[in-house]
Structure 1
Amino acid sequence: MQTSLKRVVFGASFFLFTIVASVSGYMLFGWSFLDALYMVVITVFGVGFGEVKPIETPALKIFTMVVIVAGTSSAVYIVGSFLQMVTEGEIQKVLEARRMTKGIESLEQHVIICGFGRIGQILARKLTESEQKFVVIDNDEGRMASAEKRGYLALQGNATDEGILIAAGVKQARVLATVLPDDALNVFITLTTRELNPEVEIIARGELPSTEKKLRLAGANHVVLPASIGAERMAQTIVNPHALDFLREDAGRQDLSDLLAQIDIQLEELTLAAGSPFIGKPLSSMEVRGKGAFVVVAIRKEDGEIVTHPSHDRILHQGDTVILMGHRGDIPKFAQRYAMKRQMYYRGMSY
């Protein structure tokens, strides 16, 4: 495609040079600019009108023949290169579409992503990193071009259409994720998918909490509410900033707090203030008094260093922040019983 474009540019440049050189040549033979330009135009384009002035000298005849050959050749070269460029583009589109279709037809146990917006793009990137096979469906031409540019298998069309889902291999798919920002469309896609493949696992996005029930009734195995997850993450950042620092240390733990929240387990942090009965004692003494209500996952020292997987015999010091994991409600009771300080943060200030 780029080679054909270069040919068009080269031909146009040569044609323009031929016109300028020809006009200049006739003017050197004593013709006016208008007469010279008129002569070049009727000669190059083969109109067939008579010469402006008699061409009698051998030099003028030879020059005119050169103008005819150069002008006609450059014009033909431009047209041919342009047609080649157009033809190559169309052939390339057909071949690309055929390659895409064959690639999708050969897939089994793959993932289908309905919607290539912000969430769909993040999901596709994560699946690529984990070497998962997937197909993207979206009806926006620009987003589909973006998906194809990244090397994804993409199918342009409406994901609510049975034909599009079948073309994407829904009957052989392992998972379908519908991540459109429209709850009604997600419900409809879930219903259609469940009818086409009762065994496929469906993960659906919901904007409103009230939609979760509808999506599950429609056949979704899992419902993800991005707004709720975002609010939960912000709350965790305010309430337990050190716990979030601990999670960010490892990319594999970044979403742990969100997953724990779904099963009523949370990360909490308790600071050993002056007078705490655990100061100067091993970590095991705190775990014993907790009676299995929590698990210590990390300790943040007063200088900011985070110690992961602390040993049971590690001595606790004043100012240490112990990061715990346990059921909601159990840790606050433990902190109140032993007068431990639970840190609450708001806009970067500690109270």
Structure 2
Amino acid sequence: MNTISRFALLALVASLAACSVLETDKIDYKSAGKAPTLEVPPDLTQLSRDNRYAVPGGAVTANSYQQGLANAPGLPTALTNIGDVRMERSGSQRWLVINRPADQLWDPVKDFWQESGFLITTEQRNLGIMETDWAENRAKLPQDIIRGTLGKLVESMYSTGELDRFRTRMERTPNGTEIFISHRGMQEVYSSSRQDQTVWQPRPSDPELETEFLRRLMVKLGVSQEQSKVIASAGAPVQTARVANVGGQPVVQISEGFERAWRRVGLALDRTGFTVEDRDRAAGTYFVRYVPPNPNKSDPGFFGKLFTFGSGKTEAPLKFRILVKGQGDASSTVSVLDGNGAPDTSANAQRIVQVIADDLK
């Protein structure tokens, strides 16, 4: 094909794409990466048994999570009724509550993401954390006649300019498992006025995408399509969080008891770029560090710059403790502690509580 013909084809494709309708009601992810060689999880019996993380009646730390898997009673893997899986909602957040032990859910959840077009890049079975790679939702591309006719021949000419990745976190409960799915997105934007260069930068998480994948996971676990749609559409978001100052320390005040506040704060941390290294539910503490959500790692992005102290370079990830403290049955507070467990009143702490509060609304 000569140059003139190539440009003519490109012009025709662009013209038809402009007239097409986006199929926004579909999900069709395609990973651009190759499957990594996943390491076999270490012998979990060798994990440290630090008493700091011992939680009576079942816990969600690395040690007690895996102990719970080993000791959990056998439950049926096939759904006999919808009562085995349900969806909880608070604000814009949703999660699944499943009456099965986590060891029976890990492989089906992994299969679910791979069947959805993703590669698994992180598997921390001892912590109950699984993360996909960055992938593009090809359903957002224009379904024009040229693409429909020529298929893969012109597939590489199309791009949505958006990438998504998802983190799945499982927490064991006395009656089964809770599953949280959090979304993180990137978008490609021009970095120069001449529009000849682009960079990837974070875009807001999408609660609707999270809900859709939770709904699809319900179907994977045995709930019918019709039932999953009814469950996912139930309820309405209610604003439950606000930033306040208590004794000179910035906090998030949540109009919910500890149990729901604990779940929601964990999901907010997953959404906003913090890596939960461990968690002590009895003490209400998440041990976190921050990792900028950049797929090409060439630019720290907005949240990466949050921890830059005038040097022009992003410092090494800082470690924090996020403390969730219940105050009766209908109120909780969230505060930031430094890596040593001391109250943090710095500007960083103020920014962190604001990020958490914004996600909880």
Answer whether TM exceeds 0.5 for this pair: no
User: More relative contact order in 1 or in 2 (CA 8 Å, sep 6+)?
Assistant: 2
Higher Cα radius of gyration: 1
Give the TM-score normalised by structure 2. 0.19
Flag the structure with higher strand content: 2
Give the TM-score normalised by structure 1. 0.19
Flag the structure with higher helix content: 1
